[in-house]
Amino acid sequence: MSVVNISCYKFVSLADREVLKADLTARCLALDLKGTILLAPEGINVFLAGSRAAIDAIVTHLRADPRFGDLAPKESLSAEPPFKRMRVRLKKEIITMKHPLIRPEAGRAPSVAAATLKQWLDRGCDDEGRPVVMLDTRNDYEVAAGTFENAVDYDIGIFSEFPPRLAEHLADYAGKTVVSFCTGGIRCEKAAIHMKEIGIERVYQLEGGILKYFEEVGGAHYRGDCFVFDARETLSEDLQPASGRLHR
């Protein structure tokens, strides 16, 4: 498998999105990359596929900008690019929740690393003995492909439905530690920030989402595959297309 696929994001204030769009479009096309980069006032969201050299080159270029210096792409391999073309798009939000935009200057949501989460799930509580609730922030069709054992989900069709559904269940989380999770980290970080803002006391996001969890600890406590928004459709715990082929 010769195609390297990466995904990463960063909540950071961007006031020069038009300039960034022109620069990244030119560089990605020159490197023969395929995929999508989203640019919004609240940050950047990246999904790219290409050769090892091309991926390394674009990551080096992105990290040369101090705002993106700590980007930590999640990687997987495939035989073919799972994207048909290259697009750099300007958006209002890098993930739409239809609530006030993330304020990057206010800091990130608390996070838990994959290895630590596995330890919590192994023993059924966090380091302080509190019950751990896994909260799936993804859409219903993504959850159907696979999720963590006993995870809570709200059967939502789009992410903007998450806040009102959550508001109906705030009492469920009293005295518990809540870990929000999603595919790659972006939705669960935004969800965790929102949950902190509305008063849920102990909230963490799963650092790097399901894909980082698969990469670091495999499929422990997870059942099924992980839906991804490209031609691979779903990835198994070894980060390979679950069906063994791309869907066009």
In angstroms, the CA 216 to CA 218 distance is 6
CB contact set of 18 (below 8 Å; sequence gap of 6+):
90
**Nearest by Cα to 153 from 184, 186, 181:** 181
3-state class percentages of the chain: helix first, strand second, coil last, to nearest 5: 35, 25, 40
Give, in degrees to the nearest 5, the angle at Cα 176 between 172 and 179.
95
Return the closest-CA partner of residue 58 out of 85, 37, 82, 84.
Answer: 37
Catalytic residue among 8, 28, 182, 188: 182
Residue 96, both tokens = 């739409």
Q: How far apart (Å, rounded) are the C-alpha atoms in residues 88 and 33?
A: 11
125 included as an active-site residue:
no
DSSP string for residues in 132-185: EEEEE-S-HHHHHHEEETT-B----SSGGGHHHHHHTTGGGGTTSEEEEE-SSS
What letter would DSSP give residue 29? H
User: What are the strands, taking DSSP E only, across the chain?
Assistant: 3-11, 34-40, 43-50, 74-78, 86-90, 111-112, 132-136, 146-148, 177-181, 203-206, 222-224, 226-227, 234-235
Active site residues: 182
